[in-house]
Amino acid sequence: MLSNFSLLNCTLRNGSVGFWQVSPPGQFADNFEIENNVFVNQNWQGIHVENISNCSISDNNISSGNGLQAGIFTLNCSNITGNRISGVGPAPTTSISDSWAGITVIHNVPITEPLVISNNVVMATNANGIYVDGASNLTLQGNQLSTS
């Protein structure tokens, strides 16, 4: 299982997902840092990570003209700060429960570490700015959301 991983100062262009990490069921990777990267023209998600302890996603630029489903998607992960996301949507529905969002955070197991979503800028079309489901111990602070 991948642990102690850093993705720093990279440019990832085109494709379905810029970065994808899914840990095996019931197991958690540890110590991920995804920082200062540029993700351009992914057509599904910029960053997708699942089941990672001590995960930091910060200061990335994610942009697409192709209608991203999520700029950043996390399942059972934490700490999303200072990212700039544009090109999300339009979502297939306008339902508030639709997980299409600039930042999608889902927790389906108890997570003890604090979850911080702060100082992100999200510009979305017919989609949620930040979608959170099942998370606890959550701090939302200083985010700028613009949807049209």
pLDDT per residue as tens digits for the range 12-70 = 999 899 999 999 888 999 999 999 999 999 989 999 999 999 999 999 999 987 678 89
Helix (H, G, I), strand (E, B) or coil at 25: coil
Q: Give the whole-angstrom CA distance, residue 91 versus residue 9.
A: 30
**Other Cβ atoms closer than 10 A to 46:** 32
Q: Could you tell me how far CA 62 lies from the centroid of its own chain?
A: 10
Q: What is the mean pLDDT of the chain?
A: 90
Which pLDDT score is estimated for 37?
98
- Residue 147 confidence (pLDDT) above 90: no
- Pair 52, 77: CB distance under 8 Å: yes
Per DSSP, helices labelled H in 5-148 are none
* Amino acid symbol at 109: V
| pTM as predicted | 0.93
